[in-house]
Amino acid sequence: MASRAEVLTSAPVASVTMTADQQQTDPELLTQALAGREDRFAELYGRRQGGVFRFALQMSGSVAVAEDVTQETFLALLTHGTRFDPARGSVAAFLYGIARNVVLRRLEHERRFEQEEDSCADGDVLDDLTRSQSIERVREAVLCLPPVYREVIVLCDLQETSYEEAATALACPIGTVRSRLNRGRAMLAQKLCITLSVSPCRERQTVRSLE
């Protein structure tokens, strides 16, 4: 009994003052949003839109595309949210799965109708070196990865989702996520080394500057 009292008194104030609304889980918020509660949707959106937006941004490299994808993803959530099954994964993974489909569709569309500008070709190494922002060089290296490797890098390394969530979002086994992640990282290392290998000293300096 004493230990129970201790636990209660040592509980952080924030958890004591937390309202019932703040404690609602994503599936609960989704259920209420689907029933027409705009405030619940707004709360769920506030929690998850950043991740979806960044996922789309890092997959596409375009803020405009990321905005569209975010909007389409949450609209799809409102339309097909009843298909969400908590037993199969989290709401976040469900959202990433939708966003992934939307992004891939957009990328395919743009690849078909736009002129291909292969800025990722090895010949652009010198151009890359002239760029001032190292971050953008890393972003471009990520964007150069084939989509199947890019999506695992973005989800696991950039969005820091678990392998399980990534597997749910990508609709593939965890082992596939791991292997694609390893392969993707190796390809990324190769691309960054290509970019940086002109001057080993500069390579080290660039990486240090990123830290």
Partner 1 sequence: MSPAPMSPEEQVQAALKALADHDRPRESQTTAQQIFRLRPVSRWKTGTGYAVLAAAAAIVALLLRTPAAPVLPTPVSQVVSQPAAVVPEPAAPEAAFAKTDVVMAVPVRRTRASAPVRREVVTEFFSLMDAPPPFERGQLLRVVVPASTMRSVGLPVNPDRWSERIQADVLVGEEGMARAIRFVSYQE
Instruction: Tell me whether residue 25 or residue 79 sits nearer to partner 1 (CB atom).
Output: 79
Q: DSSP state, 21?
A: T
Token reading at 53: 């937006």
Work out how close the CB of 198 gets to partner 1 at its nearest, in angstroms, rounded to a whole number. 15
Instruction: Tell me whether residue 66 or residue 93 sits nearer to partner 1 (CB atom).
Output: 66
Dist CA 16 CA 39 (whole Å): 23
CB count in 10 Å sphere of residue 7: 9
Amino acid at 75: L
Token reading at 176: 């596939």
Work out how close the CB of 98 gets to partner 1 at its nearest, in angstroms, rounded to a whole number. 13
Q: How far is CA 201 from the centre of its chain?
A: 32
Work out how close the CB of 134 gets to partner 1 at its nearest, in angstroms, rounded to a whole number. 8
* Binding-site ranges for partner 1 (CB under 8 A): 38, 41-42, 45-46, 49-50, 52-54, 57-58, 66-67, 70-71, 74-75, 78-79, 82, 134-135, 138-139, 141-142, 153, 157-160, 185, 188-189, 192-193, 203-204, 207-208, 210-211
Token reading at 20: 């019932």
Work out how close the CB of 52 gets to partner 1 at its nearest, in angstroms, rounded to a whole number. 8
